[in-house]
Amino acid sequence: MIKIENVHKHFNENYVLRGVNLEVKDGETLTIIGGSGSGKTVLLRHIVGLFLAERGTVEVDGINLGAVREHELHEVQKKIGFLFQDGALFDSLSVGENVAFGLRYMNLSEQVIHKKVSECLMHVGLAGIESVRPSELSGGMKKRVALARAIARDPKYMLYDEPTTGLDPIFSDVINELILDLQKNLKMTSIVVTHDLKSVYKVSNRIAMLLEGKIIETGTPDEIKNSVNPSVQQFINGSSKGPIKLKIKEYQE
C-alpha cells in the first residue's frame, strides 16, 4: 500500500504541494487529475523517491521514504516502475539494452535477460526491435519501449506520468489497453497522472483530483462524474468558467 500524509513541497516562491493526503490500495488503479502545473508529476516523483517531502510522509509498504538510507531507498525503488512523460530512454543504448537495464542488477543469466526483454517488448507490441536505437523510434514507440523497460522487473507498483500526452487517439487507446492489461494480468497497483479524461474513465478504479496543492476529492469514476464540488465539475466539463481561475494575469505581468 502507498500512503501519503500531509506532504508539502515548494520550489522558490511556488508552493506546489500544501498538505496532500492520499492512500493507494494494493491492486487498484488510481488516477490523479488536475490542471497543468497543479503538482501531479511532483506528487508522483515523491512516491518513487525522486523528491523527498519537506513536511509529511510518503510510505511505500510501510517504509517512510524520507527516513531511509540511500541504498534502502534504491530497494524500495526496485518495487516501482515509472513511465516518464517523454519515455526517458537511454539514447546511448539500444532498445534491447534499455529494456534489459534494470534486469542487469538482478543476478540473472544473459539467457533469462534476453527472454525477459523479448517478452516485455512483445507485451507492448514491439517484438523484434531489440537492436534499434531510441532515436529511430516514433514518440508512441518510445513510450511503449519505456513501458517495456518499466515492467521488465515485474514491479509491484506502476506509476504513469502523462502516458497518453502527445499521442494520437489510436496510440492513446493502445497505451490505455496496455495499462488495463497490466492491471488484469500482472495484478499491478497503478497510479496514473493525466488530464486526458477519456483515458481517466477507461483505466481508473478510483480518481483523485489535485487542486492548489491538495487533494480536493477522491472517488470512483461515477462518483467523480456526479460530484457536487464545483471545481471538480468545472475540470471534468472542461469549462473556463467556475471556481478554478487561470493565472493569466500573473503571466502577463
Partner 1 sequence: MFNKTEEKIIELLNSLASSFILVYKTIISCFMKPFETNLVIYQMVGIGLRSLPVTILTSFSVGMVLALQAGYSAMYVFNEPLYVGTIVTFSIIKELGPVLTATVITGRVGAAITAELGTMKVTEQIDALYTLGTNPVKYLAVPRFLACITMIPILATIANIFGVVGGFVVSRYKLDIPSTVYWTDTLDFLKIDDFFHGFIKSVFFAAIIAFVAIYKGFGTKGGAEGVGKATTQAVVTTLVLILVIDYFLSALLVALRIG
Q: Which residues are CB-contacts of 68 (< 8 A; sequence separation ≥ 6)?
A: 76
Smallest gap from Cβ 228 to partner 1, in A, equals 38
Residues in the interface with partner 1 (CB under 8 A) total 25
The reply to whether 163 sits near partner 1 by the rule CB under 8 A is no
Hey, how many other C-beta atoms are within 10 angstroms of the C-beta on 15? 14
x-or-dash string of contact with partner 1, 101-140, rule CB under 8 A: xx--x-----------------------------------
- Interface with partner 1 in residues 32-61 (CB under 8 A): 45, 48-50
x-or-dash string of contact with partner 1, 58-77, rule CB under 8 A: ------------x---xx-x
Smallest gap from Cβ 198 to partner 1, in A, equals 25
Report in angstroms the alpha-carbon separations of 37 from 43, 84, 133, 195. Answer: 11, 16, 32, 11
Angle at 33 (CA atoms; ends 79, 99), nearest 5 degrees: 35
**Nearer of residues 97 and 173 to partner 1, judged by Cβ:** 97
Question: Contact at 8 Å (CB) between 141 and 126?
Answer: yes
Among 7, 20, 46, 82, binds partner 1 (CB under 8 A): 82
Angle at 4 (CA atoms; ends 7, 156), nearest 5 degrees: 135
Residue type, 92: S
Report in angstroms the alpha-carbon separations of 130 from 10, 13, 87, 124, 171. Answer: 41, 45, 16, 13, 21
Among 89, 95, 178, 182, binds partner 1 (CB under 8 A): 89
Q: Which residues bind partner 1 (CB under 8 A)?
A: 45, 48-50, 70, 74-75, 77-78, 80-82, 84-86, 88-91, 101-102, 105, 149-150, 153
